Amino acid sequence: MDNLLRRDYLDGVDSLAEFLQYNFTVPCNGVKGKNQIDCSFSDLCSGQCNDNQVIPLFNLIYRNASSRLHPNFRLTYPTMHLYNDEYYVGEHFAGVKIDPKTNVISRVKVVVLYFRTDRQTPQISSVINEWERSLFDYVAHFNHPTLNMTLNSDAMIAREVRTNGLSCVPYFGASVIAVVLFIFATNQREHFVMSHNIVMAILGIAGPLMAVGTTFGFLFLFGFPFNSITLVMPFLIIGVGCDDVFIIIHAMRKTDKRESLENQIAETMEEAGPSITVTSATNILSFAIGIATPTPAISLFCLYTCIAVAVDFVYQLTFFVAVLVFEEKRLEAMRLSKKQEKVEEALGAPKQVLSIQNSIRSTAGAHPLPANPDGIVSRYCRFLKDWRTRVALLLILSGYWTASYYGCKTMEIKMDTTNLIMKDSPLNNIAWIYERFLWSEGQLVLVFVNNPPDLANEHNQHEVLELVRRFETLPYSMGRNSTSIWLRSFLYQSSLYHNTKGFNGLLQEWLDDSEGGGARWNDMLRLKKAENGTILGVDKFMFATACAMGDDANWATREKLQKQWRGVAHEYAHFNVTVFQSYSFYIDQLDSIGGTTMSTVIWAAITMDLACLLMIPGINSILTSTIAMMSINVGVFGLLSVWNVNLDPITMCTTLMSIGFSVDFTAHISYHYYRNPTSWTTDERLADALKSIGWPMIQAATSTVLCIVPLMFNSSYMVWVFVKTILLVTVLGILHGIIFLPALLLTSGDLSRLFGGSSDSKIQPEKKEKLGEISQASSFSSTNSETVLVKKDDSTELKTIPQERGSG
C-alpha cells in the first residue's frame, strides 16, 4: 500500500504478469493436441489475449528517467500516450498520484491484472476452470518479499457465497437436538409416562426432517438449481413443523380417553386441523408469491421453502397422526393393565365426584362452559378488558408504531457483496480495494453500438463521435482523455495513409497493421465481410470511457449514473446502444427491489387475509387479525432497519418469511375466539381461546427461537439477517397474540355490542340459545356437561349432570 512504481516493486509486478500469462500452466487434457501437455493462459485464450500489455510498456518507459520526459512518451493518467497511440491505464492503476510539475504518474498503490477470454468450447472451458482453480490456490499461498496479491473472479464469488451458505450446516444438528429436548421437557404431564415423552420428542422432529429431505430430493430430481441461501430453509421448516406438533399433541390431550381411538383422533384433528391448515396455507401462499419475484436467488429460496412447508403439512396429517395412533395404542395397553387396580381403589374410597371433560363428538353439538372465572386466564382477560389497561396498551403501541415507521422510512436500499460472504473471506480485501480505490478513482463504462450507420459517410462519423462526446460530458466522467474508441484513432491515423482505397479498404489495412496501426482494436469491433474476406462495413462496435466518483462513491451515485448512461443510450435508440458496467446487475436489483418488495408484501398480505377469511368467516376476527398481522410486519421491517439491516435480496426473503409467520400468531387466537358462542361475554370467549391455544403458541414460539439459537454463533451477515428476523417476528408475534390482539378483540367486541351487533358477523339461530343446543354455525363444539363417578352403596355409576351457566 505504498508506491508500486519503485524499481523492485514494478519489476516484480511486470514479472508476475508475464508469469501468469505465459508460464503458469495446468494439464491441457488434449485441447491443444497430443504434443502439448501443459497449457498456459495464453494457450487457452482467444483474441488479443493480453489485457495487461500496458504494464511492461509502462515499466519500460518509467524505469528510464529520460524516457519519462520524452515528448512521444506521456505517462499521463488515465490514458498514457505512446507516439500517436493511446493506452487506457485507469483500469490497471489505482491509488494514483500525479506529479504537478510534469503531469506524469508519480505513485501507484494498486495494480490490477486482468485475464479475460471467451470460452470457445466446453473442453477449453473445462481447462480454463482448472487454470482458475489452480490460480486460487497459488494466490492463497503467494509469498513475495515486496508484493501482496489477492484475486477476484465470478467463480471466486460463487465459491465464497457457497461457503457462506454451507456454514449453516454444522449448526443444524444442534438446532434439532435443542428442539427435541424442548418437546420432551414441555410435554411432561403427570399422567404421561417417560417413554411417551421421548417418543413424542423424536417423532415430532421426524416429520419436518423428512419434509426437508423430500424437498431437496424432489427439486434436485427435476433439475432445479441449488443456491446456498436455501440452506436456511431447514431451520425454518423445523420451526414450522414443530408448531403443528405442539397443537396436535395439545388437542390430543384434551380428548376423553374413554372414547374409541378413532373418535379421539377425529376429535384431535377437528380441534387442531383448522389451526394448522390456515397457518400452513398462509405460509405456502406467502412463499408462493415470492417465487414470482425477478431476483433468481429470492425466487429459488421461496420455491424450496414453499414446497417444504407443503410437504411438512402433508407429513403432519399423515405420518405424525399415524404414529400418534400407534403411540396411543401402546399407552392404552399400559392403562388397561392398571385399570383393575384403579377400580378397586375407587370402590374402597369414599363417595367422590370426578370431573371429566367429554369429547367433542360424543355430546352431539353441545358447547362447554366458559373457562373458570376464578382461573388465571379469566382474571388476565378481565385485566385486559379494563379500560385503563387498554389505554396503556394503546400508548405502548403508539410508541412501537412510531419507532417502526421511523425504521421503515430510514431503511436504506443497499447492495454489498460482503454481505454474501463470511467475515474471514479473502473477498473482503477485494471489496475494500474496490470501495477505496477502483470505484472512487475510475471505472470503465462499456458502450455497445449494435446497429451503427454507414461510417464511410462523414455525417454519420460526426453523429457517432457526438454520441461518444455525450458520455464524456456526463457528471463524474473523466472526459475525453479516458475514452478508448477505435474511430478517433483511425480517423487521426488515416491521414498518414495514402487514401486511395476508400474508408472500408483503408480500415482493413489499418486493422492489419500490428506495428503502428490499429491491430489492437480488432476486439472492439465486428466487421461485415464479403465471401472473399473484404470489408463491407462495420457491423457493430464498442467503446469505453471512464468515470470517477471520488468521495461520492456509493450505491446511490452508481444508480444515478447508470440511469444517466441509459438515458443517453435511449436517445440513440436508432443505433441500438446498450451500456454495461461491472456492477450493472447489482444496480438493476437495487432499482427494482424497493418496488418489488412493496408489491410482493401487498399481494402477500391480501392473500393472507383471503386465506384467513376462508377459515375464520367472522368480520371482527378478520379485521383484528389483519391489523395485528400488519402491526407485526411493520414492526419487523422497521426494527430490522434500526438493527442495522439494509434492504437487499436477503432482507426481501426474510420479509416474505415474516409475513407468513406472523399469521401463525394471529390466526390461532382469532379462530378459537371466533368459534366460541356469541352469547358469551367477550372476555369469556377470549379466555376460552387463550386456554385452548395459548400454551401451544408459547411452545411454538420458544421452539422456533431454539431452532435459530445455534446460528447466533455464525458470523455470516446473511445468517444473522434471518436470525434477527425470526427473533423479531417471534417476539412481536407472541406479544401481539397474547396481549395486543386479545385487547383488540375485546375492544372490537365491545364496540359491536355497543352498536347493537354481534361481536362477529356470522349466522345466528333464530331462537334464544338453550342448553345443549348448537350455539354457532360451526362443527367445532364440545360438551356442556360433566360426567361424575358416584358411589351408591356397593355400586358405582357414571352419571351425566347438565351444567347451568351463571348470569355472567
Q: Stretch 338-353: mean pLDDT, rounded? A: 55
For the cut 80, the answer to whether the pLDDT of residue 547 exceeds it is yes
Q: Stretch 228-233: mean pLDDT, rounded? A: 88
**Nearest by Cα to 257 from 805, 787, 794, 733:** 787
User: Which pLDDT belongs to residue 285?
Assistant: 86
Q: pLDDT confidence of 551, banded at 50, 70, 90?
A: confident
For the cut 90, the answer to whether the pLDDT of residue 573 exceeds it is yes
Give the Cα separation of 120 and 118 in Å (integer). 6
Q: Select the more confidently predicted residue: 231 or 753.
A: 231
CA 794 to chain centre: 70
For the cut 80, the answer to whether the pLDDT of residue 712 exceeds it is yes
For the cut 50, the answer to whether the pLDDT of residue 770 exceeds it is no
Q: pLDDT confidence of 640, banded at 50, 70, 90?
A: very high
Give the Cα separation of 124 and 46 in Å (integer). 11
Q: Select the more confidently predicted residue: 120 or 222.
A: 222
For the cut 60, the answer to whether the pLDDT of residue 114 exceeds it is yes
Q: Select the more confidently predicted residue: 770 or 442.
A: 442
User: Mean of the per-residue pLDDT values for the chain?
Assistant: 82
Give the Cα separation of 539 and 712 in Å (integer). 56
Q: Select the more confidently predicted residue: 75 or 335.
A: 75
Q: pLDDT confidence of 216, banded at 50, 70, 90?
A: very high
Give the Cα separation of 693 and 254 in Å (integer). 12
Q: Are 275 and 266 in contact (CB under 8 A)?
A: no
**Cell numbers 384467513: residue:** 612
Cell (9 digits) for 424: 474471514
For the cut 60, the answer to whether the pLDDT of residue 454 exceeds it is yes
For the cut 60, the answer to whether the pLDDT of residue 340 exceeds it is no
User: Which pLDDT belongs to residue 757?
Assistant: 55
CA 539-541-545 angle, to 5 degrees, is: 165
| Model confidence pLDDT, tens digit, residues 663-709 | 778 888 888 888 888 778 888 888 888 888 888 888 888 998 998 99
For the cut 50, the answer to whether the pLDDT of residue 240 exceeds it is yes
Weakest-pLDDT range from 117-131, 254-268, 648-662: 648-662
For the cut 90, the answer to whether the pLDDT of residue 518 exceeds it is no
H helices present in 141-260, as ranges: 154-166, 169-186, 194-221, 233-253
Q: Select the more confidently predicted residue: 315 or 35.
A: 315
For the cut 90, the answer to whether the pLDDT of residue 557 exceeds it is no
For the cut 90, the answer to whether the pLDDT of residue 647 exceeds it is no
Q: Select the more confidently predicted residue: 615 or 733.
A: 733
Q: Select the more confidently predicted residue: 440 or 43.
A: 43
pTM: 0.76
Please count the other Cβ atoms lying within 10 Å of the Cβ belonging to residue 216. 19
User: Which pLDDT belongs to residue 668?
Assistant: 80
Written in H, E and C, the secondary structure of 547-559 is ECCHHHCCHHHHH
Give the Cα separation of 54 and 13 in Å (integer). 12
The 8-class DSSP code of residue 681 comes to: -
Spell out the domains of the chain, with CATH numbers in brackets: 7-153 (no CATH), 159-338+374-410+590-753 (1.20.1640.10), 426-497+506-581 (no CATH)
Give the Cα separation of 579 and 487 in Å (integer). 18
User: Which pLDDT belongs to residue 23?
Assistant: 93
Q: pLDDT confidence of 345, banded at 50, 70, 90?
A: low
The 8-class DSSP code of residue 582 comes to: T
DSSP for 72-112, please give it.
TEE--SSEEEETTEEEE-TTTEES-EE-TTT--EEE-SEE-
Q: pLDDT confidence of 766, banded at 50, 70, 90?
A: very low
Torsion region of 479: left, alpha or beta (phi above 0 gives left; psi -120 to 50 gives alpha): left
Give the Cα separation of 527 and 540 in Å (integer). 7
Give the Cα separation of 739 and 742 in Å (integer). 6
**Cell numbers 506529479: residue:** 99
For the cut 90, the answer to whether the pLDDT of residue 598 exceeds it is no
For the cut 50, the answer to whether the pLDDT of residue 354 exceeds it is no
For the cut 70, the answer to whether the pLDDT of residue 777 exceeds it is no
Q: Stretch 124-143: mean pLDDT, rounded? A: 92
Helices and strands of the chain, counted as H and E runs? 26, 15
User: Which pLDDT belongs to residue 427?
Assistant: 87
Q: Select the more confidently predicted residue: 210 or 165.
A: 210
**Cell numbers 417502526: residue:** 404
Cell (9 digits) for 630: 400488519
Give the Cα separation of 283 and 169 in Å (integer). 24
3-class DSSP state of 73: strand
Q: Stretch 569-590: mean pLDDT, rounded? A: 88
Q: pLDDT confidence of 767, banded at 50, 70, 90?
A: very low
For the cut 70, the answer to whether the pLDDT of residue 788 exceeds it is no
User: Which pLDDT belongs to residue 760?
Assistant: 54
Cell (9 digits) for 451: 446497429
User: Which pLDDT belongs to residue 369?
Assistant: 60
Q: Stretch 375-398: mean pLDDT, rounded? A: 89
For the cut 50, the answer to whether the pLDDT of residue 98 exceeds it is yes
Give the Cα separation of 675 and 360 in Å (integer). 13
Q: Are 301 and 227 in contact (CB under 8 A)?
A: yes
| Cα four-point dihedral sign 398, 400, 403, 406 | negative
For the cut 70, the answer to whether the pLDDT of residue 56 exceeds it is yes
User: Which pLDDT belongs to residue 342?
Assistant: 59
For the cut 70, the answer to whether the pLDDT of residue 362 exceeds it is no
DSSP for 471-539, please give it.
HHTSTTB--GGG-B-HHHHHHHHHTTS---SHHHHHHHHHHH--SSSSGGGGGGEEEEE-TTS-EEEEE
CA 191 to chain centre: 44
Q: pLDDT confidence of 51, banded at 50, 70, 90?
A: confident
